[in-house]
Structure 1
Amino acid sequence: MREKSSLFTPVLIAGCIIILVSFAIRAAFGLFQIPIANEFGWMRSEFSLAIAIQNLAWGIGQPIFGAIAEKIGDRKAIFLGAVTYAAGLVLSSFAVTPEAHQMLEILVGFGIAGTGFGVILAVVGRASSDENRSMTLAIATAAGSGGQIFGPPLAEYLLGVMSWQMVFVVFAVMILLTLLTLPMMRAPEAASKAEIEESLSEILMRAFRDPSYSLIFIGFFSCGYQLSFVTAHFPAFIAEACSAIMPGSLLHNLGITTTSSLGAWSISIIGVANIFGTLFAGWLGNRYQKKYLLAGIYTLRTMIAAAFIMVPMTPMTVLLFAIGMGSLWLATVPLTSGLVAHIYGLRYMGTLYGIIFFSHQLGSFLGAWLGGRMYDQYGDYTAVWWIGVGVGAFSAMVHLPVREERLQMRSA
């Protein structure tokens, strides 16, 4: 009999550290948008395409690293991901053309895949008891928000004291240091007899034939679009469109004196709010049907985004948006990964969730690239923002028909 696991295990702690550092680096990429474009005289869409390619490579790499972890072991997959991540960052520091940055972001994206949600959540899920699984997945997801809290301000500080090239090298060292936690990443196999007897190709075929899997895949697209656009472009959007921070105001007294610094801190505020929102989503996921929770989250995101773009942008509306959107930011991840684990089992969760996550990254690619492309064409982000509102509403609807019951029970 398997001994009941506690909520906080060595696997969860190590997984949180790896995700925290990985996402701190990723969340900071929007801060490099203006310095790199200004140094080389590039259009905004050039670096936006690099971030978009990073997101697409992350999505392609997610099921690949999930399969690698299931084939040769979780720790080897994470090691490979961290080394790939560091290599991409170091090589990017030498890039001087848009094409070089864009191609090297493939390495960075694959590195994020090997140190991100797909591999880590699968290990954490297997190391958790059934009653703790939704909450442990939420805690690991919230660690990504922890990285988002300190990543952008750290990047802004480092960019003030060194070149952007050296910041990339510092980030490479940071991701390699997470490998020191790998000895803690030991998770038991947690699979039923039926799951053990079922091959990867068999469960993939059953999942692909299941309409619910397709609906989850389609629905996760808007999450990627919204998150990637905000991460890549929101700091620049605020810097250019927000009204000035008044001397003597609370923000000014706290040292946030420019809209540029407000842009960096807004990403951190989103991260702070999301820690609470993600943990609350994990708690709800143990008590209510996940498909309805996901539909509710996408509906609220749509309403908040629409309200923000319809009023003049001020420091106050930026803060309100960051808190509101932040509370829903990654709340979809523990619910979506938990839904996949519940319906299709834990044995091949890394690969199955990785394929679902590819849809998320298709949205991320479009959000990052289209943001820069439409900015260059129209001179602002209004049109691309409204596209995000529309896809959010669509995702809210497609989750409602999902059949939230174990696939094996349907065919029993």
Structure 2
Amino acid sequence: MSIFRFPILVWLGIGTLIISLGIRQSFGIFMMPISEHFNTGREFFSLAIALQNLMFGAFQPFVGMAADKWGSKRIIMAGAVAYALGLFLMSMTQSTGMAYLSLGVLVGLGLSATSYVIVLGAVAKVVPAEHAAKAFGLTTAAGSFGMFAMIPGAQALLSNFGWQGALQGFALLCTLMIAFAAFMKTAKPSETAALSSAQNELTLSQALKQAFNHKGYWLIHAGFFVCGFHVMFIATHLPSYLADKQLPASSAAMALAYVGIFNIFGSYFWGLMADRYNKRHIMFWLYMLRAVVIASFVIFPISEYTAAIFGGAIGFVWLGTVPLTSGLVRHIFGAKYMSTLYGLVFFTHQIGSFLGAWAGGLIYDYYGTYEPIWWSTVAMAVVAGLLHIPIDDKPVELKAQTA
């Protein structure tokens, strides 16, 4: 199937991800101005972003269940409202407690309803199984384009209007997600990938029981935990790390933009590989590449050029885990309850994100350097790669059980 023949829902989902994840990935450049405004160390902002990611994950299984029951359209619209409200309240607050509620809880809720789990769950129901990983890769790449497009714009808003004005501009942008969702239509049965009769009869509790009794499902959880730790540590702390090396703010914005643009190619590439080769083997090599890229960045001297190279290299393996992980869940457990099952896996990812964002600030404030956590990410990448080798990726036998 050509990407140009994907259903319109896929393209509306891509538009939603460009905005939702583009805004999210720009938060790292707000660390220093917000920390200076509140006269706190870096742990304050790190904890706010960590709480955001924890709430992002904690809400995700419930939001996924709601999407499986009522459809993605209503969920995305409600999430966009929460996202905009959280950004606006953060721009107005003078209280650290309100910062945790707005930037942490409300934005976390908004993200859970407007990002990968909900959009990919909708895509899984309208794209044939043999093309699912490619569609997931293309959709994942959209979030990377948002990162590439948003971060330079966020830097410009920050320079011209301050961090409050930049967040208010982002709040207005969230209204576009409501518009995209308004045009989403529930797929007709003839337009969807056919579900087996067993899938149709399977209840949510039975699907959850099958997943929880599957060892590979928990190994997928563990690998995605490491992914979450990596991406939020880097997205949140790379700008500050480069500033500590006496590089200008523009170099951090450019490095993160390179992460975004190279992830466009990387996500689609890893999605294509997942359609052609065994997903768990591809995942192993992706994590090994991450380990090499991060270790090389720490070992070699830091300059604007090496920062840009690192951005491109880590970007290529940045979110390639998303089409691979969601593809594994789709392949093993089917499409019917994918939003729920992948939502639970994504919660584990966000626990990793919480720890990656928070631990970065905590360790920096304690040691005065990021070096210990950089090397921890290298070791974690190797472990995550090895965890995918023993996964049994054969589709489960879907049997609806009678009372």
Q: 1:90 — aligned with what?
A: 88
Q: 2:222 aligns with which of 180, 200, 218?
A: 218
Measured after TM superposition, the shift of residue 394 of structure 1 is: 1.0
Change (3 A) 1:60 1:156: same
Q: 2:101 aligns with which of 100, 103, 113?
A: 103
Q: 1:62 — aligned with what?
A: 60
Measured after TM superposition, the shift of residue 409 of structure 1 is: 7.1
For 1:62, the aligned partner's letter is Q
Residues 127-181 of structure 1: CA deviation (Å, up to 9, x unaligned): 1123321111111100000111011111110011113112212111111222112
Residues 376-403 of structure 1: CA deviation (Å, up to 9, x unaligned): 1111211111111121111111111111
Measured after TM superposition, the shift of residue 279 of structure 1 is: 0.8
Q: Work out whether residues 14 and 185 of structure 1, in 8 Å CA contact, stay in contact via their aligned partners in 2.
A: no
Matched, 1:320 2:309: yes
For 1:405, the aligned partner's letter is K
Measured after TM superposition, the shift of residue 265 of structure 1 is: 1.0
Between the aligned partners of 2:171 and 2:385, the Cα distance in structure 1 is 37
Q: How do 1:142-181 residues align onto structure 2 when only pairs under 5 Å count?
A: 142-181=141-180
Fraction of identical pairs, as percent: 38
Measured after TM superposition, the shift of residue 89 of structure 1 is: 0.9
Q: 2:45 — aligned with what?
A: 47
Between the aligned partners of 1:199 and 1:4, the Cα distance in structure 2 is 33
Q: 2:186 — aligned with what?
A: 186
Q: 1:333 aligns with which of 312, 315, 322?
A: 322
Q: Work out whether residues 198 and 398 of structure 2, in 8 Å CA contact, stay in contact via their aligned partners in 1.
A: no
Measured after TM superposition, the shift of residue 7 of structure 1 is: 3.7
When structure 1 is superposed on structure 2, of 81-90 and 336-345 the one drifting more is 81-90
Matched, 1:131 2:130: yes
- Report the TM-score when normalising by structure 1: 0.92
Q: 1:202 — aligned with what?
A: 206
Measured after TM superposition, the shift of residue 410 of structure 1 is: 10
Between the aligned partners of 1:5 and 1:263, the Cα distance in structure 2 is 33
Q: How do 1:11-410 residues align onto structure 2 when only pairs under 5 Å count?
A: 11-104=9-102, 105-182=104-181, 183-188=183-188, 190=193, 191-241=195-245, 259-408=248-397
Residue ranges of structure 2 left out of the alignment (5+ in a row): none
Change (3 A) 1:4 1:155: closer
Change (3 A) 1:36 1:216: same
Residues 292-322 of structure 1: CA deviation (Å, up to 9, x unaligned): 1011101110111112112221222212211
Between the aligned partners of 2:370 and 2:206, the Cα distance in structure 1 is 44
Measured after TM superposition, the shift of residue 99 of structure 1 is: 2.3
Between the aligned partners of 1:145 and 1:410, the Cα distance in structure 2 is 38
When structure 1 is superposed on structure 2, of 178-187 and 115-124 the one drifting more is 178-187
Q: 1:250 — aligned with what?
A: none
Between the aligned partners of 2:289 and 2:4, the Cα distance in structure 1 is 33
For 1:279, the aligned partner's letter is Y
Between the aligned partners of 1:378 and 1:410, the Cα distance in structure 2 is 54
- Report the TM-score when normalising by structure 2: 0.94
Residue ranges of structure 1 left out of the alignment (5+ in a row): 245-258
Measured after TM superposition, the shift of residue 98 of structure 1 is: 2.4
When structure 1 is superposed on structure 2, of 161-170 and 370-379 the one drifting more is 161-170
For 2:184, the aligned partner's letter is M
Residues 65-122 of structure 1: CA deviation (Å, up to 9, x unaligned): 1111112221111111111111111111122232221222111011001000000001
Between the aligned partners of 1:28 and 1:308, the Cα distance in structure 2 is 21
- Report how many residues are paired: 394
Q: Work out whether residues 48 and 99 of structure 2, in 8 Å CA contact, stay in contact via their aligned partners in 1.
A: yes
Between the aligned partners of 1:5 and 1:230, the Cα distance in structure 2 is 31
Between the aligned partners of 1:239 and 1:315, the Cα distance in structure 2 is 11
Between the aligned partners of 1:394 and 1:64, the Cα distance in structure 2 is 30
Between the aligned partners of 1:70 and 1:231, the Cα distance in structure 2 is 30
Between the aligned partners of 1:213 and 1:204, the Cα distance in structure 2 is 11
Measured after TM superposition, the shift of residue 58 of structure 1 is: 0.6
- How much is the aligned-residue C-alpha RMSD, in angstroms? 1.8
Measured after TM superposition, the shift of residue 6 of structure 1 is: 6.4
Between the aligned partners of 2:2 and 2:307, the Cα distance in structure 1 is 44
